[in-house]
């Protein structure tokens, strides 16, 4: 019930806010102004209530007054939140953006410039400096785009908004705790639209749990221009979730003709030499070095590059669980460390199937006599097998990959 109300609120708000923002008229109709100020008034009432509850549990009034000085309902934050949810780039476009030549070049410069502290951080936490630099590059382009939105305003707006209200209310609580402890000042407390702060974009709860004071000045200062504490905090975070030093996140591999791509699933792990025996090797034809147990990962089917992923893939997922993010960080780390770019070519110009399209694909395969055991819109072994059987029967290339071309073929 609550979610239905939240949904209705979202639609009416989005419509009204959109109309107010896009109005070309310098004197928008009065009704829109009334709506906008009513919104602001509702937000300020919410803030007043939040402050009363905080005082009741012992938060100093002075801290709250400082925290909320000038804080308003931030429409931009809500717009970003809505777009983020629907926004999805093909993995190769995302990789191209995060692992561009410029990003690699700047990462190598950052590695040199901060070598001394990065070496010390690597030594203390056992986390490779290249991956720390890669997270820095992926999150804020090495500190360039740390965000300049008040974290109190961002988290309060999202908590008030309600789509993920409970989560952001607790992030707001953690933001206030930062001020109570005096970790930094209300003025410095800036970040992204979602409340992610500093060089490596810690959300307030992660800051409390994992940030460290590495330079020894008594403050865990991830907001300073000097990135030392932020980089050490990232290393501490990765260590906490089991980073294994010297192990890559993922290594690109070559598949021989006989390689069975139905083994490309997370739960199926082998050692690199076992993979080599099944036709999955490095580009020199030799087994990938023995970094540990690995899964085969084909982000774009056999139309794109193939990777072996290791334990550290799961560790970086704790930062951001999107495959594209983890692969980008892992690849940027290797590139910053001197490795060559990904060799295989991506199916640029195509795009991954949307869930509804996968569902249609499954229905059409089943109707054609190649059962996918249901049509849930997700690719699993049953769908992959059905695709392979269909491709074989039709005399197509048998790669088991759900593509737009395959869907088009089924519609013929």
Burial code of 212-230, b = ≥16 C-beta within 10 A, e = fewer? bbbbeeebbbbbbeebbbb
Please compute, for residue 113, the number of CA atoms within 13 A of its CA located in the half-sphere on the CB side: 11
Minimum distance of Ca ion from residue 216's CB (angstroms):
7
- Judge whether 195 and 171 are in contact, CB under 8 Å: yes
51/219 with CB nearer Ca ion: 219
Binding region for Ca ion (CB under 5 A) out of 223-231, 251-259, 300-308, 350-358: 223-231
Known catalytic membership, residue 76:
no
Q: State phi, psi for 348 to the nearest 5 degrees.
A: -60, 140
Minimum distance of Ca ion from residue 137's CB (angstroms):
22
> Among 219, 239, 265, 314, which residue interacts with Ca ion (rule: CB under 5 A)?
219
Q: In whole angstroms, what is the distance from residue 400 CA to residue 390 CA?
A: 9
Minimum distance of Ca ion from residue 226's CB (angstroms):
8
173/221 with CB nearer Ca ion: 221
Minimum distance of Ca ion from residue 150's CB (angstroms):
22
Binding region for Ca ion (CB under 5 A) out of 222-230, 285-293, 298-306, 345-353: 222-230
Helix axes 115-125, 101-113, angle to 10 degrees: 80
The catalytic residue among 139, 153, 174, 252 is: 139
24/182 with CB nearer Ca ion: 182
> Among 221, 237, 319, 353, which residue interacts with Ca ion (rule: CB under 5 A)?
221
Report which of 374, 358, 375 is spatially closest to residue 410, judged by C-alpha positions: 358
225/267 with CB nearer Ca ion: 225
Q: Does 124 bind Ca ion (CB under 5 A)?
A: no
* Helix (H) or strand (E) segment spanning residue 306: strand 306-309
Q: In whole angstroms, what is the distance from residue 185 CA to residue 177 CA?
A: 11
Contacts with Ca ion by CB under 5 A: the residue count is 6
Binding region for Ca ion (CB under 5 A) out of 32-40, 119-127, 217-225, 306-314: 217-225
79/213 with CB nearer Ca ion: 213
Q: How would you class 159 by CB atoms within 10 Å of its CB: exposed for 0-12, middle for 13-18, buried for 19 or more?
A: buried
Q: Does 215 bind Ca ion (CB under 5 A)?
A: yes
Q: Does 323 bind Ca ion (CB under 5 A)?
A: no
Minimum distance of Ca ion from residue 196's CB (angstroms):
19
* Helix (H) or strand (E) segment spanning residue 334: helix 323-336
218/285 with CB nearer Ca ion: 218
In the region spanning residues 229 to 248, those forming contacts with Ca ion, defined by CB under 5 A, are 229
Contact characters 175-214, Ca ion, x per CB under 5 A: --------------------------------------x-
In the region spanning residues 367 to 396, those forming contacts with Ca ion, defined by CB under 5 A, are none
39/219 with CB nearer Ca ion: 219
In the region spanning residues 130 to 169, those forming contacts with Ca ion, defined by CB under 5 A, are none
Q: In whole angstroms, what is the distance from residue 103 CA to residue 112 CA?
A: 14
Place of tokens 């602001």: 40
Minimum distance of Ca ion from residue 68's CB (angstroms):
27
DSSP string, 110-134: HHHHTHHHHHHHHHHH---HHHHHH
Binding region for Ca ion (CB under 5 A) out of 57-65, 221-229, 331-339, 354-362: 221-229
Report which of 189, 101, 186, 191 is spatially closest to residue 145, judged by C-alpha positions: 191
Closest-CB residue for Ca ion? 213
> Among 217, 273, 322, 343, which residue interacts with Ca ion (rule: CB under 5 A)?
217
Q: Which residues pair with residue 297 across a beta bridge?
A: 307
Minimum distance of Ca ion from residue 213's CB (angstroms):
4
Q: State phi, psi for 142 to the nearest 5 degrees.
A: 60, 45
Minimum distance of Ca ion from residue 174's CB (angstroms):
19
Helix axes 2-22, 75-86, angle to 10 degrees: 110
102/217 with CB nearer Ca ion: 217
- Three-state SS annotation for 213-264: CCCCCCCCCCCCCCCHHHHHHHHHHHHHCCCCCCCCCEEEEEECCCCCHHHC
Instruction: Give me the residues that bind Ca ion (CB under 5 A), please.
Output: 213, 215, 217, 219, 221, 229
Active site residues: 139
């Amino acid at each position: 019930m609550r979610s239905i109300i939240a949904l209705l609120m979202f639609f009416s708000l989005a419509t009204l806010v959109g109309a107010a923002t896009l109005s070309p008229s310098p004197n928008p109709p009065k009704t829109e102004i009334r709506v906008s100020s009513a919104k602001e008034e509702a937000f300020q009432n919410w803030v007043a209530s939040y402050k009363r509850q905080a005082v009741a549990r012992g938060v100093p009034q002075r801290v709250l007054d400082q925290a909320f000085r000038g804080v308003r309902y931030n429409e931009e934050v809500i717009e970003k939140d809505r777009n983020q949810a629907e926004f999805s780039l093909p993995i190769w476009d995302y990789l191209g953006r995060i692992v561009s030549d410029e990003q690699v070049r700047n990462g190598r410069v950052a590695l040199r410039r901060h070598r001394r502290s990065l070496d010390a951080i690597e030594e203390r936490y056992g986390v490779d400096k290249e991956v720390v630099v890669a997270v820095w590059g992926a999150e804020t382009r090495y500190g360039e785009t740390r965000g300049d939105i008040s974290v109190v305003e961002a988290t309060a707006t999202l908590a008030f908004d309600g789509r993920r209200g409970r989560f952001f209310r607790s992030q707001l609580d953690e933001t206030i705790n930062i001020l109570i402890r005096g970790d930094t000042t209300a003025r410095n407390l800036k970040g992204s639209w979602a409340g992610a702060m500093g060089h490596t974009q810690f959300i307030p709860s992660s800051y409390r749990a994992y940030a460290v004071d590495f330079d020894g000045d008594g403050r865990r200062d991830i907001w300073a221009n000097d990135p030392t504490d932020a980089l050490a905090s990232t290393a501490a975070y990765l260590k906490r979730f089991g980073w294994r030093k010297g192990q890559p996140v993922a290594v690109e591999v070559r598949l021989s003709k006989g390689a069975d791509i139905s083994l490309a699933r997370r739960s199926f792990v082998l050692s690199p030499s076992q993979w080599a025996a099944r036709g999955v090797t490095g580009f020199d034809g030799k087994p990938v070095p023995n970094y540990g147990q690995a899964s085969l990962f084909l982000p774009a089917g056999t139309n794109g590059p193939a990777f072996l992923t290791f334990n550290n893939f799961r560790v970086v997922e704790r930062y951001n669980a999107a495959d594209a993010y983890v692969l980008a960080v892992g690849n940027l780390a290797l590139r910053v460390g001197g490795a060559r770019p990904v060799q295989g070519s991506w199916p640029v110009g195509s795009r991954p199937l949307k869930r509804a399209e996968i569902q249609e694909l499954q229905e059409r395969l089943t109707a054609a006599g190649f059962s996918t055991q249901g049509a849930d819109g997700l690719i699993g072994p049953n769908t992959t097998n059905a695709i392979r059987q269909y491709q074989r029967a039709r005399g197509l290339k048998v790669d088991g990959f759900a593509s737009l071309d395959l869907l088009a073929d089924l519609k013929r």
